[in-house]
Amino acid sequence: MLDKICVLDWRYGSEEMKSLFKAESIVKRYVAVEKALIYGLAKAGIAPNECVNVVEVCSENVSAEEVYAKEKELGHDIASLAYLLGEKCGECGKYIHLGATSYDVVDTVWALIINEALSIVMKKLKKIIEVLSDMAVKHRKTLMVGRTHGQHALPITFGFKLANYVYEFARSYERLCECRKRIVKGKISGAVGTMAAWGSRGLFVEKYAMEYLDLEPHAISTQVAPRDGFAELVANLAILGSQLDRFALEVRELSRPEIGEVYESAKRVGSSTMPHKRNPVIAERISGLAKILRSMVMVALENIPLMHERDLTNSSSERILIPHVFLVADQMLIDMEKLLSVLYVDEEAMKRNLGLGKGAIMAEAVMVKLVEKGIPRHLAHKKLQEIAIAVGGDEDFLEKLLKDEEISKLFTHEELKNIIDYDNYVGQSENLIERSIAYAKTVLSSCR
């Protein structure tokens, strides 16, 4: 472990995700595409039918070690694979990679790997959405301060806060699902993408090769598949990362000792020197990794403009970009699951903080009632602003309201008490929570 250079090798990301990007796994899929091509060539009448079975057998023992040893000699990984298969497959070896270009293999393999990687990401994201939905329902009546600009704004419920994340994460799930349709496509079209080497049978070669791999082909391509799909994928994962970062920031802010409404309850050492610390380390790791994820978007965008029908500038960057973007996103989702499992909600702290303003947070509610009594909104606003600012010392907002001549004539003590009751001013929160969860359920059930 300690001889690894990249932290993603030993610290971050699941073994399930890592296995997709290991050399042996990638070469195994390279071989699968070469077998698909032989199948396509045979079905199109270019290669003998028996070569399909021959290549199935002779390709079984091709290893990544062999391919990359050969690459040291040839300087090209796909050419090395084609040479090795050509040597191993006897008479049928002459049809290996016939008419294909290296990125027929590479881009089709990326499609296969990305499809599996997205399944891992979306499975984790689905679980997070479901856990948050349950929490939103559980806390649909848990009152707390709603904050804007870092200041007390209006009362909300913790369930309402969580339901906003349910909605946002469901939108990311939907984006990934839609993106999947555009990027998980094969590319079998030869040099510059015209299928020239296969003549009039090019579309048949593509059709049957794609059938073998259970993929749809791109409608058209140059020598490489269009890179806007990769950029869309990375951008969508970065959006998801930023949403996870937003939730993590929420936890970090609300876990400040002076707020203390939620915190990570996992037992661990908070600080190497300060025994009392209860640091939000899981949330902070999510926020830290989000920075890396966002930075990768620029690389993906830079890979869209390639010279003419292609150049090689995308190749080296994508070997780094695609595994890393998935492994970082994977770790963030792992951390989010863990964060939700250890998140402690302190309802007493929420209640205490709600009362810090001594009721002034309900100024809007009184203003609305004054307008109903015929007072112009702007005048009601000015009056309530003056009263709210004056709240302090031993007097609370209700007492200040009762001392105002105009207000005390319009409302009784009980009426004012009812108007500034926090429970009476969370609007349609419960209906909105239900609506967000219903939206998420629809997305999760319709988009797989």
Cβ–Cβ under 8 Å, residues 41 and 212: no
CB atoms within 10 A of CB 148: 8
The per-residue pLDDT for 388 is 93
Classify strands 185-186 and 216-217 as parallel, antiparallel or unpaired. Answer: parallel
Find the range with the poorest average confidence among 119-128, 329-338, 386-395. Answer: 386-395
Tens-place pLDDT, residues 218-244: 999 999 999 999 999 999 999 999 999
Q: Are 169 and 124 in contact (CB under 8 A)?
A: no
**Structure tokens given for 143:** 């009152």
Of 123, 161, 158, nearest in space to 246 by CA: 161
pLDDT at 192: 96
Reported as a single tens digit per residue, the pLDDT across 157-190 is 999 999 999 999 999 999 999 999 999 999 999 9
Residues 187-201 have pLDDT tens digits of: 999 999 999 999 999
Reading the block at residue 63, the tokens are: 């290893």
* Residue 392's pLDDT band (cuts 50, 70, 90): confident
- Average pLDDT score, the chain: 95
Does the pLDDT of residue 369 top 80, yes or no? Answer: yes
DSSP secondary structure code for residue 361 in this structure: G
For residues 74 and 44, the answer to whether their CB atoms sit within 8 Å is no
Question: What is the residue whose two structure tokens read 């298969």?
Answer: 85
pLDDT value for 277: 66
- When pLDDT is averaged across residues 22-27 and rounded to a whole number, the result is 96
Q: What mean pLDDT comes out for the span 207-214?
A: 98
**Token output for 438:** 């219903």
Residue from 386, 326, 310, 367 nearest 106 by CA: 310
User: What percent of the chain is predicted at pLDDT more than 90?
Assistant: 93
| H helix intervals, 256-302 | 281-302
Do residues 64 and 27 lie in contact, with contact meaning Cβ atoms separated by under 8 Å? Answer: yes
| b/e burial code for range 225-246 (CB count within 10 A of at least 16 → b) | bbbebbbbbbbbbbbbbbbbbe
Task: Give the active site residue among 149, 200, 308, 446.
Answer: 149
CB 398 within 8 A of CB 359: yes
Can you give the pLDDT at residue 268? 58
**Catalytic residue at 149?**
yes
Burial of 253 (0-12, 13-18, 19+ CB in 10 A): middle
CA distance 206 to 217: 8
The answer to whether residue 275 scores a pLDDT higher than 70 is no
Give yes or no: 271 in active site: yes
For the chain, domains (ranges, CATH) are 7-95 (1.10.275.10), 102-189+215-353 (1.20.200.10), 360-419 (1.10.40.30)
The single residue of 19, 119, 265, 271 carrying the catalytic annotation is 271
- Note the pLDDT of residue 267: 67
**Is the model's pTM score more than 0.85?**
yes
